[in-house]
């Protein structure tokens, strides 16, 4: 999560520190170098006595909506707003983030863990002969990604696709294996962002391999040519044979 925050700051994605329980925003000198930009962000305080009104006002402001008159009933939960606990910078501090003005921000919010596609309603996707690509976006050196298996099932008028992947760390450093490593899945010439992710640990030591599941909710039936695009479009994996035509949607 610290790494995701650092990427958010470097990509000019909107990030708002939210303070609760009397917490204060750390000073720049108290933060790692890649997070010192947080000290320049204006923090918002949520007070216990006006919690619901404060949160509702924040959400409405982010959505560009006018303030609600005092006699109007406020809503507590609003879809599409992610509130994420702050990760090691002190109890009582939170961060809210969303789309900014530049950069690829699709991995900015946390996503749920993938459940293994073990039930009989999952169908197997036949892989290409070489579903592997090299990701050169990591400054420490190249990482090798492989799709080991792929499955899909129909669900709620859409389709769920889950890929079992591996990442080999060819660098001399420990690197992260998290959802941000995967940008999107291409089905029927349309791109779909990750909907779930789980891995056997979030870091990979030098020279080792880590396995993961990455899932997508797609509105097109997963047939024909399917491609997995890695972070910052630094690598592309032909999940199915490249000789196939894109599916229809």
Read off the pLDDT of residues 216-238 as tens digits, 9 standing for 90 and up.
999 999 999 999 999 888 899 99
Q: With respect to residue 221, please indicate whether it lies within any of the assigned structural domains.
A: yes
Same domain, 156 and 90: no
Residue range of the domain that includes 38: 2-97
Taking the C-alpha atoms of residue 174 and residue 249, their distance in angstroms, rounded to an integer, is 41
Q: With respect to residue 111, please indicate whether it lies within any of the assigned structural domains.
A: no
Q: With respect to residue 83, please indicate whether it lies within any of the assigned structural domains.
A: yes
Read off the pLDDT of residues 25-60 as tens digits, 9 standing for 90 and up.
788 888 888 888 887 777 777 777 777 777 887 787
Same domain, 211 and 175: yes
pLDDT at 76: 34
213 bridge partner residues: 164, 198
Same domain, 144 and 228: yes
Instruction: Say how many domains are in the chain.
Output: 2
Supply the pTM of this predicted model: 0.59
Which of the four pLDDT bands, split at 50, 70 and 90, describes residue 92? very low
Same domain, 127 and 232: yes
Same domain, 62 and 168: no
What does 183-237 look like in DSSP terms, one character per residue? EEEEETTEEE-EEEEEESSSEE-TT-EEEEEEEEEESS-S-B-EEEEEGGG--EE
Same domain, 142 and 213: yes
């Amino acid at each position: 999560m610290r790494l995701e925050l650092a990427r958010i700051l470097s990509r000019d994605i909107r990030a708002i520190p939210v303070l609760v329980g009397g917490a204060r925003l750390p000073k720049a000198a108290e933060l790692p170098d890649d997070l010192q930009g947080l000290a320049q962000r204006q923090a918002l305080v949520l007070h216990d006595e006006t919690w619901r009104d404060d949160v509702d006002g924040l959400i409405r402001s982010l959505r560009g909506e006018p303030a609600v008159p005092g006699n109007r009933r406020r809503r507590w939960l609003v879809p599409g707003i992610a509130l994420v606990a702050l990760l090691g910078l002190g109890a009582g501090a939170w961060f809210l983030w969303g789309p900014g003005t530049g950069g690829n921000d699709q991995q900015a919010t946390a996503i749920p863990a993938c459940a293994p596609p073990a039930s009989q309603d999952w169908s197997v996707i036949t892989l290409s002969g070489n579903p592997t690509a090299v990701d050169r976006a990591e400054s420490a050196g190249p990482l090798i990604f492989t799709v080991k298996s792929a499955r899909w099932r129909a669900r709620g008028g859409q389709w769920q696709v889950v890929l079992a992947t591996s990442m080999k760390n060819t660098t001399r450093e420990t690197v992260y294996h998290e959802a941000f490593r995967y940008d999107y899945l291409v089905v029927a010439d349309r791109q779909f962002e990750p909907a779930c992710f789980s891995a056997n640990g979030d870091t990979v030591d030098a020279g080792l391999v880590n396995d993961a599941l990455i899932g997508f909710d797609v509105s097109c039936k997963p047939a024909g040519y399917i491609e997995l695009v890695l972070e910052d479009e630094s690598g592309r994996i032909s999940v199915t044979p490249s000789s196939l035509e894109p599916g229809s949607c």
